[in-house]
Amino acid sequence: MNQLRNILIITLLTLPCHSRANEAEIERRVEEMMAKLTVERKIDLIGGVDGFYIRSLPEIGLPKMRLMDASVGVRSAGPSTAYAASIALAATWNPELAQEVGTGIGRDARARGAHFLLGPGVNIYRAPQGGRNFEYLGEDPLLAARLAVGYIRGIQSQGVIATVKHFMGNNSEFDRHHTNSIIDERTKREIYLPAFEAAVKEADVGAIMSSYNLVDGTYASHHKPLLEGVLKGEWGFRGIVMSDWSAVHDGIAAANAGMDLEMPSASFMNRELLLPALKDDRVSQATIDDKVRRILRTALRFGFFERQQQDLTIPLNDPRGRELAAREAEESIVLLKNEGILPLKKDSIRKIAVIGPSAYPAVVGGGGSSQVTPFAGISALEGITDFLGKDAVVMYDRGLLPMSEVLAKTRFTPVGGGSGPAVKIEQFSTNNLSGLPVSIRSSNGIALFAEDPTGPDELGQPFSSVRYTTTLVPEKSGMHHFFANVSTRDGYRLFLDDQVILSRSLDKSSSMLCHSMPLLAGRTYVLRFEVEFGQRWGPNKVEVGEIANEDLLTPTAQLMAAQADVAVVVAGYDTATEAESYDRTFALPVGQDPLIQSVAALNTHTIVALVAGGAVDTAGWLDRVPALLHLWYPGQEGGRALAKVLFGEISPSGHLPISWEKTWAENPVHHSYYINGKGNDVHYSEGVFVGYRGYEQNRIKPLFPFGYGMSYSSFRYTNLKISPQNARIGETVSLSFDVTNAGNMLADDVAQLYLGDPVASVPRPPKELKGFQRVSLKPGETTTVSFLIDPRARSFYDITTKEWKQEPGAFTVFVGPSSAEIPLTGTFQVKK
Ligand code: BGC
């Protein structure tokens, strides 16, 4: 009988979605445990331990709980399934698949004993440079919300707590610990909060992680109006607010603001600080108790008191994960351009050249804490080779020298000729190269690393600047590339004969910048590089290099391109060039534009496949290639998925979860993305007009619009029905239409519904996504897609009443396969 009772309790408690009866039992047990804990032990619980754990409290039977990173798979417990990155998941527009992927990641977590997964990331994509775009779900709040809900439900269905992050305003990685995101209230509610809101209200997420940045002048981890006010107060969040790793700066401010758990350790929310604060009422006991209750309640809700979290019956290298990762990659690849070349016909290809730095080995994800090492990652080269078998010759070459070799090949000459070290280095105690240098030395190259004794620390000064001067005498005439890399936010300029050719103030990316220009053999060019270190001298790297185009591109790739029936160039970023903690460049990494140009010049059948977390500058080559595919970071099965799409075994079906700009300048956040106010202020001055909302408002056509993606089939949209045509203000409007596969191949499309409110008392975007449905149709097949448009979907956030407000009048309905292709339109009226 007792055993039966235990089983019953275990079943009740392990169900992640808690019923009321079960809730009462949880609360009863929480109180029972609270009574057994001293104030010291309570404080011990609210700070992490050992990097990725919450400490155990044996006196109440609480086990030590383990946290693992999980944006794109489970990290830090050896190899694991590497799913396609979250931005690729967003490109599938498939919330059911998101739930399956979440379930898969949840299973992987159970196999490894994780109690918490630190994902999903749901911050909105504003600009292609965002270093963590690949970990997030695109530019639209509804799309991000739907996918996040699926993903969280999947994870939590496995008895693992999901942690939605980073709350909030982390939309760039540039100087992420110091930037201050200033976002007006309406924009927060309409654009930056909905995915978090859905995670809380619909998916009942167990934990939320604050971001590093400040919001409106206060660290997100100390932000009472957001944490206590919006999250816990308005949305009724009952789970745990944890800080990002070392994102708490003041234990009392954080504790009073609603921070429940300081990670990775109790640097501030500890006994030393909080016990005296409790004594003199700077923090109340109720405040501490609430945090403890939240942690215990969540642990009970997920059954951690009752079972071993590690489930040894789940395979570490799970075939279900492989299958899911493959489906996700297949559904996420976006065909952006196809001038009749795709799909390739297997029978007519004898030789195919696979070229590019991302062609092999597999680039499964971007860099940083989301990085997962798979048991086996299938590169584009392997995917294509496996697909073709012995039927064709697959030639492969990287196409470009690796950067380390380019750096090693860079040759400078001493100013005025002669022998000896080529580079004169002058260091200044000021941060702007003023005054006399405090040291002058020389070396053979321009490189400086954190441990280098020439760093500012060595000078004993808080500020420092440095000037490198040398000359360059090219051996070859023709195009040359210069590149510079300074790994912090510090400003720098590279001059060639007194002309600035690279400047950090123009491009704030912390990855390598490149400038290409023609040089003459034998001429002497004076090169000057100036770096102004700011106060935040951190892990540093300074590198400057130069190379002639013909030395950068490998001759083998050129020969292959010339001989092959088809060339596939797989280009893009990797864990070193697109990663957490810095922003990347909009331009492809050094040498990749020239590589694509040279292959395209040698082979008219050149297909480009890009690996990137978002849009990329294609201006240098897009009109020279007949086809372009976007792979995002496709996870461990990416190479196989690419081969299936290239050869038409499946039709491409991913659609852009972002708008893709022709030039960075036309992006609606171009003037507001980087620090644009005083100090570190980033004013989101475009308001709600971010992404397609902004392009349409500004009447700028992007290169590829939000929602866009080509297919090998074609689809017809007909029969739009809206009911009622005249709705009352509180009434939900239903809408349906038919989608027909008018082509001759089984294919998926993503039907999208946008709404416009042309006459409103506040400026509203011309159209906003209000529904979407991925449909899979056989040739000739038709399906009916239906949506409900409830009052909230028609509303804007009214800052005066602090409520969602719907205004009577006409609403326009737009239906189609992208935000720019709208075969069906209609209207309905909303009456008072
Ligand atoms: C990242 C988080 C991550 C944490 C733990 C931080 O630097 O911002 O997203 O979960 O590290 O790895």
User: Is residue 325 a contact partner of residue 266, using CB atoms and an 8 Å limit?
Assistant: no
Q: Ligand 1: distance of its center to the CA of 119 in Å?
A: 9
Q: Ligand 1: distance of its center to the CA of 688 in Å?
A: 28
Other Cβ atoms closer than 10 A to 580: 19
The Cα–Cα gap between 427 and 533 comes to: 11
Nearest to 680 by CA among 224, 219, 250: 219
Which of helix, strand or coil describes residue 84?
coil
In which band, very low, low, confident or very high, does the pLDDT at 448 lie, cut at 50, 70 and 90? low
Q: Which two tokens stand for residue 739?
A: 């989608």
Q: For 792-808, what is the mean pLDDT?
A: 97
Q: How does DSSP assign 754-823, residue by residue? A: EEE--S-SS---S-EEEEEEEEEE-TT-EEEEEEEE-HHHH-EEETTTTEEE---EEEEEEEESSSS--S
Q: Model confidence over 363-422: pLDDT tens digits? A: 999 999 999 999 999 999 999 999 999 989 999 999 999 888 888 888 898 888 888 888
17 pLDDT more than 80: no
At a CB cut-off of 8 Å and minimum separation 6, what does 172 contact? 126, 127, 129, 130, 131, 179, 583, 673, 674, 682
450 pLDDT more than 50: no
In which band, very low, low, confident or very high, does the pLDDT at 710 lie, cut at 50, 70 and 90? very high
Q: Ligand 1: distance of its center to the CA of 272 in Å?
A: 26
At a CB cut-off of 8 Å and minimum separation 6, what does 34 contact? 289, 292, 293, 296
Across the chain, what does the average pLDDT equal? 93
72 pLDDT more than 90: no
Q: Atom 3 of ligand 1 has which residue's CA nearest to it?
A: 369
Which 8-state DSSP code applies to residue 203? T
Q: Write down the residue that tokens 């504790």 correspond to.
A: 255
465 pLDDT more than 90: no
Q: Which of 245, 248, 263, 370 should be mutated for ligand 1, with most atoms under 8 A from CB?
A: 245
Which of helix, strand or coil describes residue 541?
strand
At a CB cut-off of 8 Å and minimum separation 6, what does 198 contact? 145, 146, 148, 149
Q: Ligand 1: distance of its center to the CA of 125 in Å?
A: 18
In which band, very low, low, confident or very high, does the pLDDT at 4 lie, cut at 50, 70 and 90? very low
Q: Atom 12 of ligand 1 has which residue's CA nearest to it?
A: 369
Q: What is the CA radius of gyration of the chain?
A: 28
Q: Ligand 1: distance of its center to the CA of 785 in Å?
A: 39
The Cα–Cα gap between 459 and 659 comes to: 46
CA angle 536, 540, 544 (to 5 degrees): 125
Please state, for a pLDDT cut of 70, what percent of the chain lies above it. Answer: 93
Ranges of beta strands (E only) in 402-490 are: 423-428, 439-443, 446-449, 464-472, 478-486
Q: Atom 2 of ligand 1 has which residue's CA nearest to it?
A: 244
Q: Ligand 1: distance of its center to the CA of 467 in Å?
A: 35
Q: For 228-233, what is the mean pLDDT?
A: 98
267 pLDDT more than 70: yes
Atom of ligand 1 nearest to the CA of 580: 8
Atom of ligand 1 nearest to the CA of 212: 8
Q: Atom 6 of ligand 1 has which residue's CA nearest to it?
A: 245
Catalytic position from the list 44, 69, 140, 244? 244
Predicted pLDDT at 9: 40
Supply the angle between the helices 555-563 and 592-602 in degrees, to the nearest 10: 30
φ/ψ of residue 70, rounded to 5: -160, 35
In angstroms, the Cα distances linking 457 to 343, 425, 447, 451, 461 are 57, 16, 16, 10, 6
Q: Name 796's bridge partners.
A: 805
10 pLDDT more than 50: no
Q: Model confidence over 669-698: pLDDT tens digits? A: 999 999 888 889 999 999 999 999 999 999
At a CB cut-off of 8 Å and minimum separation 6, what does 1 contact? none
Q: Which of 52, 74, 369 should be mutated for ligand 1, with most atoms under 8 A from CB?
A: 369
The Cα–Cα gap between 785 and 772 comes to: 9
Q: Which two tokens stand for residue 164?
A: 């939605």
Which of helix, strand or coil describes residue 162?
strand
Give the helix/strand (H/E) hosting 351.
strand 351-355
Atom of ligand 1 nearest to the CA of 369: 12
Q: For 21-48, what is the mean pLDDT?
A: 96
The Cα–Cα gap between 578 and 614 comes to: 10
The Cα–Cα gap between 300 and 584 comes to: 42
Atom of ligand 1 nearest to the CA of 135: 9
Q: Write down the residue that tokens 């890009």 correspond to.
A: 610
Other Cβ atoms closer than 10 A to 431: 19
Q: For 571-580, what is the mean pLDDT?
A: 94
CB-facing half-sphere around the CA of 677: CA atoms within 13 A: 14
Q: Ligand 1: distance of its center to the CA of 217 in Å?
A: 22
Q: Model confidence over 177-211: pLDDT tens digits? A: 999 999 999 999 999 999 999 999 999 999 999 99
Atom of ligand 1 nearest to the CA of 118: 10
Q: Atom 8 of ligand 1 has which residue's CA nearest to it?
A: 244
Query: Three-state SS across 677-724?
Result: CCCCEEECCCCCCCCHHHHHHCCCCCCECCCCCECCCCEEEEEEEEEC
Q: Which letter, b or e, does each residue of 5-17 get, where b requires 16 or more Cβ atoms within 10 Å of its Cβ?
A: eeeebeebbbebe
Q: Ligand 1: distance of its center to the CA of 198 in Å?
A: 22
Q: Ligand 1: distance of its center to the CA of 139 in Å?
A: 21
* Active site annotation includes 244: yes
The Cα–Cα gap between 568 and 628 comes to: 10
pTM for the model stands at 0.94
625 pLDDT more than 70: yes
Nearest to 330 by CA among 658, 639, 70, 613: 639
The Cα–Cα gap between 340 and 526 comes to: 48
In angstroms, the Cα distances linking 613 to 50, 375, 568 are 31, 22, 20
Q: Atom 11 of ligand 1 has which residue's CA nearest to it?
A: 245
Query: Three-state SS across 585-623?
Result: CCCCCCCHHHHHHHHHHHCCCEEEEEECCCCCCCCCCHH
Q: Ligand 1: distance of its center to the CA of 69 in Å?
A: 7
The Cα–Cα gap between 259 and 262 comes to: 7
Q: For 241-245, what is the mean pLDDT?
A: 98
In angstroms, the Cα distances linking 550 to 531, 553, 555 are 29, 6, 8
Q: Which of 54, 69, 208, 210 should be mutated for ligand 1, with most atoms under 8 A from CB?
A: 69
Residues with CB under 6 A from ligand 1: 69, 118, 165, 244-245, 369
In angstroms, the Cα distances linking 606 to 554, 560, 596, 603 are 17, 12, 9, 6
The Cα–Cα gap between 605 and 565 comes to: 7
Q: Which two tokens stand for residue 353?
A: 């050249």
Q: Atom 4 of ligand 1 has which residue's CA nearest to it?
A: 245
Nearest to 595 by CA among 632, 570, 629: 570
Q: Ligand 1: distance of its center to the CA of 581 in Å?
A: 10
Q: Name 482's bridge partners.
A: 515, 546
The Cα–Cα gap between 563 and 726 comes to: 65
Is the Cα torsion angle 695, 698, 702, 707 positive or negative in sign? positive
Q: Ligand 1: distance of its center to the CA of 369 in Å?
A: 6
Please state, for a pLDDT cut of 90, what percent of the chain lies above it. Answer: 84
Atom of ligand 1 nearest to the CA of 211: 8
In which band, very low, low, confident or very high, does the pLDDT at 640 lie, cut at 50, 70 and 90? very high
Q: For 536-554, what is the mean pLDDT?
A: 79
Atom of ligand 1 nearest to the CA of 176: 8
